[in-house]
Each structure stands twice: as structure tokens, then as C-alpha cells.
Amino acid sequence: ASEKPVKAKEFDKELFKRSVEYNVRTLYRKNLEEADAQQIFQAVSYAIKDRIVENWMETQKAYEKEDPKMVYYMSMEFLMGRALGNNLINLKAYKPVAEALEELGLDLNLIEDQEPDAALGNGGLGRLAACFLDSLATLGYPAYGCGIRYRYGMFKQEIRDGYQVEVPDNWLMNGNPFELRRPEYAKIVKFGGYVSVHTDENGRNVFTQEGYQSVKAVPFDFPIVGYGNGIVNTLRIWDAEPVECFQLDSFDKGDYQKAVEQENLARNIVEVLYPNDNHYAGKELRLKQQYFFISASVQEAVEKYMRKHDDIHKFYEKVTFQLNDTHPTVAIAELMRVLMDDYYLTWEEAWEITTKTCAYTNHTIMAEALEKWPIELFSRLLPRIYQIVEEINRRFILDIQQKYSNVPGVDVQEKIRKMAIIYDGQVKMANMAIVSGYSVNGVARLHTEILEKQELKDFYEMFPERFNNKTNGITQRRFLLHANPLLADWVTAHVGDDWITDLPQISRLKVYADDKKAQQEFMNIKYQNKVRLAKYILEHNGIEVDPRSIFDVQVKRLHEYKRQLLNILHVMHLYNELKEHPELDFYPRTFIFGAKAAAGYRNAKLTIKLINSVADVVNNDPAINGKIKVVFIENYNVSNAEIIFAAADVSEQISTASKEASGTGNMKFMLNGALTLGTMDGANVEIVEEVGEENAFIFGLSAQEVINYENHGGYDPMEIFNNDQDVRKVLMQLINGTFAPGDPELFRPLYNSLLNTQCTAKADTYFILKDFKSYAEAQKRVEAAYRDEDNWAKSAILNVSCSGKFTSDRTIQQYVDEIWHLDKVVLK
């Protein structure tokens, strides 16, 4: 094997073919003709892993030698998707491998389809973490991802009778060819028990946890391959195993009980990813998961540092922790604990290190997503950690009092009520993250402004220098180069391939926006991608769709604030119009949805049923002549997302303004030449700023308007219901059985959520009816624009060429320059 990094030119196809044949032999005692598709996937993956391992060792050796500062990206979620195709892309080996396999009579695409998605995440936050790892490796920054090796990832969604059914995602069933178990780095994590204090010979208070249960954390490493630079970073995810301490002689009844409990804890803790997105569930097991992977990761980071350095006081010069939302925030107290209890630092010394090490990213302002743990639960599970949180809180309250006691017009009690870490019987994780770190960042400009001016105003006043914005991004390697090879090749043919590692270069396409030939080529590529998606839909849904129709796509987690309900109500409205005016000149449209609902989210699940019910009626009504088709793509995930983005004409980004912190799907659509139909929310604002409002369709209330209504108790949807006949009609259809002939009451809860005629809750909290008219008008503009094909092509090409800002390479460079201050490592 070569010691040099793998380069495209050096790719030895014959050697690769021999190693695939050899792997099939040694793994399965078969030759290539006998092996099935899954076995070939495994054999190919092991052949690629061999190449990666060389670079992995070189990279880690270089890190060892140069001793650079490292970022630990701490996240409960890494939504990685499939590894094989991505690894080949980043090794610059995709085309040669596809050719080599073809020479063996094999199709790389089909082999890729054998790999299950690593779906260790829910949606945006988890996928962002995956894009960040890709960019960190590609830019050559030393980084670890730290997370959990869930046995079951995000559930698979099946649609039965129009309803979502959750099927367990046994992604490790066939083994994982890319992972590496590292038992030599196992750690012990302690839960429960109590804290005893005694004074040691130096008169120091020593705190020890006793009567606890422990779990062994065993890391599995995944290689993160940088694009064409030989760098391979590590995603380290922790598995749980029971500690081996079965002492048969001390087997009285109590011990036996304890031993079994401890084993169960190990079995349960990493069993499954919580499938909630943007919604907090205060479950004990969730807190155990959080502390489990954080304690293991913090112990490892400190031990790794101490292997090379002797002074723990300078820890923060070599290590920084980025906390992906509040989910990993116990890292703050865990680091304090290790520094004080294991390294005997004083509170002040430990605090200085911790606050210079930890940084926090906020991904939401919605109250229902904020993590608050009941003191009873928190202190019972993590007694020593809770003591530390209490002390952080006590000192912080003193700071507040000191700062505000003599300031006229400031109500100190009110400040404490809003800012304390422990208040009202709860531990507030966001408050701890802000108080105990050196950086707080939002994920899009608008979102950061809302944090500073409204949601976190008091904190911003106290620590303005900590706040900063890092607008999200996505990796063009997966979402263009891999997902859309036709468009990727076309871009490269026009502007060269620098865009792969320098996306702003794609702006050189602008000169082709007005070029008739380029427009036709672009539309032709889009058409072929629509044919590919149509084939997928026919195979998976049995629905035939016309690739010449407008593909209007909304794919994202199902959530009321994302307003899939607005989209489908508008489809119902269009259907009504077509029924009433069959002569209407209507451009054929395919409405495509993909969305998983959290398992316990009733309105979200009912919205899926509504979409499927509308699909049933509309798709089968000969009276509308196939002009509208509605498709719900089952099991939306990272892999089919790649096919979907490539085929989209219209990108639906229609969240209630102020609610979507950033969105990242919006960027994936833009990169693939879809036009945004959206509200001025999250990163949509910046997308429109880049591409120009004339190349997007913007509608709806502004964030400030929404916030104003909210501050004045909402608005009255009845007024719209009474005055807008289009709205009235679709709402009545929710309760008169038009789309649920057997059960007219089926969609009543959705109707009530919008109008709420009797109950206590507020109505239409997401301003769906308020924005309906504006949305319908924007949709009319979409249709008119699409009829002018040249102009549409121009806008689409401009979207692609203006997407440069939205690469995660840019986002990561900003984290590096403005938060982490890392140095690049270059391999010879």
C-alpha cells in the first residue's frame, strides 16, 4: 500500500478489482458471480476502507506531531446518511471505481443502494453536524465529532392507509464496514448514588460519588474523509456495555438486584434516538444519554490532552468544545467536575478553563424546544453534577445582583427570574450554556438578531461580546457533486471544478444565465433529473407523474411551524378552482411532500393523513385531467433527498416567519437550481439577498409582524374565515368528508387548530389563514413565471450561481476565524 494520500490519477483500478474479489472470497467464501448485492457492497466498502485507513493513520500522526488545537463537535445527532458514495467522492475515486465495477459487470449505483443510511439524527441539526464534519476535514482542520452510537436510528416511515407507521431502523443489521471499535479507549460513566465529602491531608474538600451505577462507554470510530487532501478526521460515537464486575461471592440479594439493574442501564441507554425534532421531551433516559456520551467524551478529551501536556491550566489553548444546541450542555459541569475532583483544581481555576473551552450554538427560539430538567430528576441521576450546577447558579445570581442592584429602573428579581440557571424547580440548560461559555451563536442572521433583541435580550445585554452569527451551510460535495452528477458535470464544463472546494467560484456561471444554449442544457438536465425522480416515485409509490409538470417540493420534518398544512390547503383550493372552472388554463403541477412526524405528535400525523387523503382524491379524479398530482414520498431521508433536490423546480420554504432558525434544505434546493417560494424567515432572507427577489417568490407576514401579533395575544382567524370564501371552502372541506368520505370528523382537530371554536388554546398560532391569500398569490406568480421557460431557466441558473455563500466550508471557516481559532494541518 502506498503511503501517499490517494489521488485520482493514482487510482489503480486493477488493484481495486482484485481487492474486491479477494474480499468476497475471504468474507463469504464466494466468487463475484455467486455473491449477492449486499455482499458486494461489503466487499467494495472494505476495499475502500483499506485506502482510507492509510490516510487516517497519516492524518492522526500529523496531528500527534504538530499538536494543533482541536475542536470537539459535541452533538446528540449526526445525520450522516450513506458513507460509501461520499467516501468515493472525497477520495476523488468515484468515477474510476464506477468504471472498475462496470468492468466487473457491476453497477455502483445499485451497490450504493445496499447501504442503509446512518440516520443518527432527526433533521436539520443532525445533518448540519454531518456537513460540518465534511467541511472540517476538507479544509484540513483537526476535529472530532462526539456522539452516540444508537442501535436504532431515526425510524423508517411506512405509509399504511395514508397513515404514518414507524418501523425500527436496524441500521447495524448487516454490520458496518466503515466503523472501527476502539475498546482501548473505553471509559466508565457513573449515574445516581450520593456525594460524600471529606477533607484530605491538605485540608481540601474531596467529593466522591458513592453507591452509583456505572456503565462502560466503548467508542466506535468513523473516518471522515476530506475532499482530495488526504485528511481523515474521526467521528467518535459511544456504545454502552455493562461493566464486568460480577463478583459471584458477594452475591447477596441486594447486589444481584444491582448487578441486573446496571446491566439493563447499559442495554437501554444507547438503544434508540429520540425522534423528536424541535420539541423537548423531558425523559429520564434522554438525560442519561446526554450525560453518558458527554462524560465519556470529556474524559477522553482531558486524557488525550494530558498525554502530551503537563499543565491542565492551558487546556483551552489546545481544546475547544462546540455544543450543538443545549443537548450536550452537561459538558460544562462535567468538565468542572473532572478539573476539580480528578485534577484538584480550585473552583476559580476550573471555571476559567471551562468558560474558555465551551461554546454554544442555539438552533431555536421556540419555547417548547427549550430544555428544562426537573431538579428532582437531575439531582437524583447526576448528584455531583447537580452540586456544580447549583454553584454555577449561585455565583451567577450574585453577578446579576452586583451588576443591577444599583441600576435605576431595573427590577433585579425579574432579571433573576428570567436568567437564573435553576428556577421554579427546573434546571435551564440554555441559561447554563450562555453563562458558562465564551461564545453563543445563532444559525442565520435574522435568527441571531431575534436572539439578541428579543429571546435572549437580557443575556445579550450582560454579555454582548459572546453573541455572534454563523449562517448555516451545506456541503456541495454531497448535495451537488454526488446528488446531481449531470448538473455537476455541466457546471464543471462551464466554469471548471474549483467550485468543489470553493463554492463561490460557481458565480462564474452568471454569464450563462442569459445564454439560450445554456438555458436549454440546464432545463434538459433538470428534466432528466425529474425523470429519475418520477421513476423513483413510480417504484416506491405506484404513482405516475409527468416530468413535464412543475415539480413543487416540500421536504422536511413535519412540524406545525413549517406549515405543510398551508401547502396542502392551497392544493385543495387549486383543486376546487379546477373543478369549478374546468376551462382554466392551468399549468400541470406535481406537489411532492416528504416528512416524518415525531411519533407522538398528533396534528403532525394527521397532516400526513390529510396529504395522502387529498392525494387519493385529486390523483384519481378524471375531471381535472391529471393537471394536479400530489405525492407523499415515504421515508424521506438523506439518500432519497439527494434524488429529490436534484429534480425540484420549486422549493417550498414556508415556515411562519421568525420560527425557522435557518433551514438548510432551502440551500440544497438553491444549489440544484430550484426557485424558492418562501417567507422572509431564517436563511431564506439571505438566499433572497444573494439571488435577488426577482428570482424567488416571497410572501407572507414578516418576522416582526408575527412577533407583534404574538405580543398582543395573536390575531382573529374567524375574520378571515368569514370574509375569504376560498379559505372558508377549504376549511369546510376539512369537516364535511370531501377528503374523508367514511369519516367526516377525521380532520376536525386540524380545523380546530386553525379556528378553535370552543377550546382554551389559541387558534392558528402559526398564521396559516393569515398568510393564505399571500401564499396563493405567490403560487400564481410561480405558474406565470414557469410559462416563460427561458426566463425560468435564467432564474434557476442564477440560483445555482448565487449559492456560493451557502457552503458549509464558509460556515466552518467563520467558526474557525471567529470562535475556535484553529490552524490548518497540511499533509505532505
In whole angstroms, how far apart are CA 646 and each of 51, 548, 630, 692, 787?
30, 15, 18, 22, 21
Question: What's the CA gap between 621 and 614, in Å, rounded?
Answer: 11
Sole binder of ligand 26Q in the list 86, 87, 90, 122 (CB under 6 A): 122
User: Which residue's CB is nearer to ligand 26Q, number 138 or number 472?
Assistant: 472
In the block, cell 460480577 appears at 246
Sole binder of ligand 26Q in the list 663, 673, 678, 700 (CB under 6 A): 663
Q: For 39-65, what is the HEC assignment?
A: HHHHHHHHHHHHHHHHHHHHHHHHHHH
Residue 662 binds to ligand 26Q (criterion: CB under 6 A): yes
Q: Which of 671, 677, 691 is nearest to 550 (CA)?
A: 677
Question: What's the CA gap between 640 and 814, in Å, rounded?
Answer: 30
Sole binder of ligand 26Q in the list 265, 443, 523, 614 (CB under 6 A): 443
Pick the stretch among 143-151, 220-228, 656-664, 807-815 that binds ligand 26Q (CB under 6 A): 656-664
Pick the stretch among 107-115, 153-161, 235-243, 276-284 that binds ligand 26Q (CB under 6 A): 276-284
Q: Which of 137, 68, 133, 134 is nearest to 319 (CA)?
A: 68
Q: Which amino acid is at 271?
A: E
Number of residues that bind ligand 26Q (CB under 6 A): 24
User: Which residue's CB is nearer to ligand 26Q, number 82 or number 372?
Assistant: 372
Mention every residue, 6+ apart, whose C-beta is less than 8 A from residue 531.
547
Catalytic site residue from 138, 234, 448, 664? 664
In whole angstroms, how far apart are CA 572 and each of 468, 531, 607, 625, 665?
42, 26, 13, 16, 25
- 762 as an active site residue: the answer is no
Residue 371 binds to ligand 26Q (criterion: CB under 6 A): yes
Residue 369 binds to ligand 26Q (criterion: CB under 6 A): yes
> Residue 267: CA atoms inside 13 Å, Cβ hemisphere, count?
6
Residue 426 binds to ligand 26Q (criterion: CB under 6 A): no
Minimum CB separation of residue 36 from ligand 26Q in Å reads 36
User: Which residue's CB is nearer to ligand 26Q, number 176 or number 448?
Assistant: 448
In the block, cell 390529510 appears at 610
Q: Is the CA virtual torsion 213, 219, 220, 226 positive or negative?
A: positive
Residue 472 binds to ligand 26Q (criterion: CB under 6 A): yes
User: Which residue's CB is nearer to ligand 26Q, number 503 or number 628?
Assistant: 503
Catalytic site residue from 51, 149, 478, 557? 557
Residue 278 binds to ligand 26Q (criterion: CB under 6 A): yes
Question: What's the CA gap between 340 and 347, in Å, rounded?
Answer: 7
Sole binder of ligand 26Q in the list 123, 142, 177, 223 (CB under 6 A): 123
Residue 45 binds to ligand 26Q (criterion: CB under 6 A): no
Pick the stretch among 238-246, 543-551, 661-669, 759-767 that binds ligand 26Q (CB under 6 A): 661-669
Q: For 627-651, what is the HEC assignment?
A: CEEEEECCCCCHHHHHHHHHCCCEE
356 neighbors 105 (Cβ within 8 angstroms): no
Question: What's the CA gap between 331 and 334, in Å, rounded?
Answer: 5
Catalytic site residue from 556, 589, 659, 805? 556
Minimum CB separation of residue 277 from ligand 26Q in Å reads 5
- 556 as an active site residue: the answer is yes
Question: What's the CA gap between 445 and 734, in Å, rounded?
Answer: 38
Residue 79 binds to ligand 26Q (criterion: CB under 6 A): no
- 765 as an active site residue: the answer is no
The C-alpha cell at 555 is 421536504
DSSP string covering 458-480, please?
HHHHH-GGGEEE----B-HIIII
- 664 as an active site residue: the answer is yes
User: Which residue's CB is nearer to ligand 26Q, number 187 or number 668?
Assistant: 668
Q: Are strands 213-225 and 187-191 parallel, antiparallel or unpaired?
A: antiparallel
Residue 682 binds to ligand 26Q (criterion: CB under 6 A): yes
Residue 295 binds to ligand 26Q (criterion: CB under 6 A): no
537 neighbors 647 (Cβ within 8 angstroms): no
558 neighbors 596 (Cβ within 8 angstroms): yes
Pick the stretch among 38-46, 78-86, 328-336, 657-665 that binds ligand 26Q (CB under 6 A): 657-665
Minimum CB separation of residue 328 from ligand 26Q in Å reads 11
Residue 274 binds to ligand 26Q (criterion: CB under 6 A): yes
Residue 658 binds to ligand 26Q (criterion: CB under 6 A): no
Q: Which of 232, 231, 230, 224 is nearest to 7 (CA)?
A: 230
Minimum CB separation of residue 188 from ligand 26Q in Å reads 25
The C-alpha cell at 820 is 475556535
- 557 as an active site residue: the answer is yes
Minimum CB separation of residue 170 from ligand 26Q in Å reads 21
User: Which residue's CB is nearer to ligand 26Q, number 149 or number 526?
Assistant: 149
303 neighbors 187 (Cβ within 8 angstroms): no
User: Which residue's CB is nearer to ligand 26Q, number 293 or number 786?
Assistant: 293
Minimum CB separation of residue 330 from ligand 26Q in Å reads 13
Sole binder of ligand 26Q in the list 74, 93, 100, 128 (CB under 6 A): 128
- 668 as an active site residue: the answer is yes
User: Which residue's CB is nearer to ligand 26Q, number 280 or number 378?
Assistant: 280
CB-based closest residue to ligand 26Q: 124
Angle ∠(818,820,824) on CA atoms, nearest 5 = 100
Minimum CB separation of residue 436 from ligand 26Q in Å reads 19
Residue 706 binds to ligand 26Q (criterion: CB under 6 A): no
Catalytic site residue from 49, 236, 363, 466? 363
Binding mask 317-356 for ligand 26Q (x = CB under 6 A): ----------------------------------------
Question: What's the CA gap between 350 and 339, in Å, rounded?
Answer: 6
Angle ∠(794,795,797) on CA atoms, nearest 5 = 65
DSSP string covering 575-622, please?
HHHHHH-TT-----EEEEEE-PPPTT-HHHHHHHHHHHHHHHHHHT-G
Sole binder of ligand 26Q in the list 475, 613, 658, 664 (CB under 6 A): 664
Pick the stretch among 119-127, 198-206, 454-462, 700-708 that binds ligand 26Q (CB under 6 A): 119-127
Residue 661 binds to ligand 26Q (criterion: CB under 6 A): yes
Residue 363 binds to ligand 26Q (criterion: CB under 6 A): yes
Residue 660 binds to ligand 26Q (criterion: CB under 6 A): yes
Q: Which of 423, 430, 437, 352 is nearest to 393 (CA)?
A: 423
Sole binder of ligand 26Q in the list 52, 125, 553, 638 (CB under 6 A): 125
User: Which residue's CB is nearer to ligand 26Q, number 114 or number 803?
Assistant: 803
Residues 710 to 749 in contact with ligand 26Q, rule: CB under 6 A? none
Q: Which amino acid is at 143?
A: A
Element (H, E) at 207: strand 205-210
Element (H, E) at 214: strand 213-225
> Residue 471: CA atoms inside 13 Å, Cβ hemisphere, count?
18
Sole binder of ligand 26Q in the list 45, 364, 651, 695 (CB under 6 A): 364
- Three-class SS state of 95: helix
Pick the stretch among 116-124, 500-508, 627-635, 695-703 that binds ligand 26Q (CB under 6 A): 116-124
Pick the stretch among 33-41, 230-238, 535-543, 660-668 that binds ligand 26Q (CB under 6 A): 660-668
Residue 262 binds to ligand 26Q (criterion: CB under 6 A): no
Minimum CB separation of residue 659 from ligand 26Q in Å reads 8
Minimum CB separation of residue 322 from ligand 26Q in Å reads 12
Q: Write out the residues near ligand 26Q by the rule CB under 6 A.
A: 122-125, 128, 274, 276-278, 280-281, 286, 363-364, 369, 371, 443, 472, 660-664, 682
Which are the catalytic amino acids?
363, 556-557, 562, 664, 668
